[in-house]
Structure 1
């Protein structure tokens, strides 16, 4: 496929990138994302779905800031909104026109019945607030999360992290129970999807009743799990979990950080299943790069005290005028252009191409996608589903970067969540570069 976007001027990483990365690493503390470290490049500017490094090399960006970059790099409406607002008012707790507009815009497109919004500066902060709200509204303490879940790295959110990533981080706050999520490719019950009868739903329902040490305040779930590898559960799963929560007298929290605002081909991740959340957490594409997050809920729930007391739900940076202006531009562009329709269209083309790639490469165990929320599962053997080694994923990633493609890889997944504005030609150009890297890996045999 002819490369329309990729321009390679130097070896990667180039000399200027190497210099800047070395300068940064002299004092920057450890803990950056692995794929950023593996690339070894320093970026200079971005436009749409491309990034250009300081050496002049231009890449197709299918990472999209891990779903943050909803509008694409430097979208004109977004740049104009930030530029104008930065010259008028940036911080402060007082009411501002951007914040007033934003809360009305979001509530106008929110899942049914959710008409109150509080604003924060990070996803984890919003999740912590949602947990407090649920506890205050119900008078209960216990929270149920899911295996494979990710809701942030602060103490309460990290307690809900359903993976080994939290090893060594505890002790965590008490009152957390984790139950199976419907990851059907790697079924937690080792069953086959076609014949399992969704047994994980019944197990999760029973566990919600049997394991907590007291009455449950909330059940929190991602409509589709991002960090677990862009996992897409059967449509029956989420409504069943919401029903289970309500049977227990608990609230159902949908964490829409990555699935909200059109990412999955519909305005909200819950729209695929019809699940009715009581609380929704927002982030990532909400601000299209500017740090802003939120908690959506019903009016009656929002009145719960002490959450509803003065300063009970506030945040130093939450909803400041500059952040609100950025999010307003993001939300209005997504809404007015119905970018979820582009996500559905381009995502379908990408998924079709990924399926063709799966036929060519024996190490692709599964491809999956909903809109521009896609993933590739990498395996040594399709029958056993044994994951490929992390070293193989690093090798694939670096082969992609050297070709001019940025695609998020970590064992055993490749996650693709580009800007909602990406066009089909750019998306398929990126996948053609991934296919080239796969052909090299296939020939080397290193994946076995």
Structure 2
């Protein structure tokens, strides 16, 4: 038995894979990775066009991040969150300086899910209120609190859920029955409906509105101009905390360090993970405004994790932030992102199966439809009994283009270090597979 076969057999025998039926799995057995690629033991090269789980922002094999982790390990690997350590202090300072000027402190977590759980706990402690608003087409994590915060079908196994979680609709303009005359009209509509719903729920009971600044896996839904400003105004009117989930969109993915910067708003709390360490180690956190942070100077903060601000992870985070800045990664995202946008628009024009493309920086989704006129999704929401999307991902995999789908969307979110040449080479594969979809399903 080859090394590859032995690893696969052992993996399937002893490990359970997330979000999968276990009986027919056939994972790639990776031997090594570098830049935007990874290889199996047979020498096949796969291109990582989703940055794994949209977290490997700086790609694979980054020597500077690895060296920072090793240096910290040589000093010490772990000390309690109650002990001040350099990597933790340095990273907290760096992130506060990246955030708007109303921010003051960071609470570190292990990942995005517990970042969101702690953010809503902080909002409840600070306001003394209990209700939390979040959107239907959202994913905030699969742990119990974050899973109740989540709106899409991955919340169903947690139901009946925790009281006090209220869902509202995304500004999903493409699939809206109303056809808006302008972006402003769309923003005004969604903001007014949200305000109306909050009034029905009693504003004095609402602690926070939680949003992925840009909806991620559920379709890269980019809010119309004026929407986030309108939500900010609602929060100011009723004393509600505005929490921006930047777990996926943050740390350069959209061409700015945080996605909310595109709309000039200042949230009260910001959750992050993924791109802060780019998957080299696990880390998440909550950016806390100075106003809220000062409240806990004389009020008990009932939040705590054994591995909060793990020194190895914080060392990786420091190296990542330095790399973003010193290597001008945001400039590359903006430059290559324009190329991606042009390619996606051409695919939309060419292929009957492509209903819409949405993109900002190197964060994009291709929405597949049965009919461009009716905008009927290729697969219905929450169900794909014929495995259509899995078959499309399989066709991409045959071309060594690795990404994932969700609902009727194909995600394209490569590492932020990708070059124009690499992007164009890979998107030719997407073009070919979309031609296959046209022939197979239209």
Secondary structure in 1 matching 2:309 = coil
1:46 is the counterpart of 2:46: no
Residues 250-399 of structure 1 correspond to what in structure 2 (within 5 A)? Answer: 250-289=240-279, 290-305=281-296, 309=300, 312-389=302-379, 390=384, 391-399=387-395
Counterpart residue number, 1:4: none
> Which segments of 5 or more consecutive residues in structure 2 lack a partner in the other structure?
none
Secondary structure in 2 matching 1:414 = strand
Count of residues in Structure 1 that have an aligned counterpart in Structure 2: 429
Cα distance, 1:337 vs structure 2:
2.6
Q: Give the alignment's TM-score, normalised by structure 2.
A: 0.92
Task: Tell whether the 8 Å contact from 1:177 to 1:208 is kept in structure 2 after alignment.
Answer: no
Cα distance, 1:221 vs structure 2:
0.9
Counterpart residue number, 1:78: 65
1:131 is the counterpart of 2:120: yes
C-alpha distance in structure 2 between counterparts of 1:394 and 1:137, whole Å: 44
Task: Tell whether the 8 Å contact from 1:365 to 1:379 is kept in structure 2 after alignment.
Answer: yes
C-alpha distance in structure 1 between counterparts of 2:299 and 2:114, whole Å: 16
Cα distance, 1:20 vs structure 2:
2.9
Cα distance, 1:291 vs structure 2:
0.7
C-alpha distance in structure 1 between counterparts of 2:411 and 2:21, whole Å: 13
Structure 1 residues 170 and 304: alpha-carbon distance in aligned structure 2, compared to 1, 3 A threshold: farther
Task: Tell whether the 8 Å contact from 2:283 to 2:313 is kept in structure 1 after alignment.
Answer: yes
C-alpha distance in structure 2 between counterparts of 1:204 and 1:19, whole Å: 54
Counterpart residue number, 1:118: 107
C-alpha distance in structure 1 between counterparts of 2:216 and 2:270, whole Å: 16
Task: Tell whether the 8 Å contact from 1:215 to 1:248 is kept in structure 2 after alignment.
Answer: no
> Which segments of 5 or more consecutive residues in structure 1 lack a partner in the other structure?
1-13
C-alpha distance in structure 1 between counterparts of 2:225 and 2:334, whole Å: 17
Aligned residue among 386, 410, 417 for 1:414 = 410
Structure 1 residues 32 and 176: alpha-carbon distance in aligned structure 2, compared to 1, 3 A threshold: closer
Larger deviation, residues 418-427 vs 277-286 = 418-427
Higher helix share: 2
Render the CA deviation track for 1:208-250: whole Å, top value 9, x for unaligned. 1213595211111111001211111112111111211221111
Secondary structure in 1 matching 2:174 = coil
Render the CA deviation track for 1:278-300: whole Å, top value 9, x for unaligned. 11111110111021001111223
Counterpart residue number, 1:31: 18
Structure 1 residues 21 and 308: alpha-carbon distance in aligned structure 2, compared to 1, 3 A threshold: farther
Structure 1 residues 300 and 222: alpha-carbon distance in aligned structure 2, compared to 1, 3 A threshold: same
Cα distance, 1:165 vs structure 2:
2.4
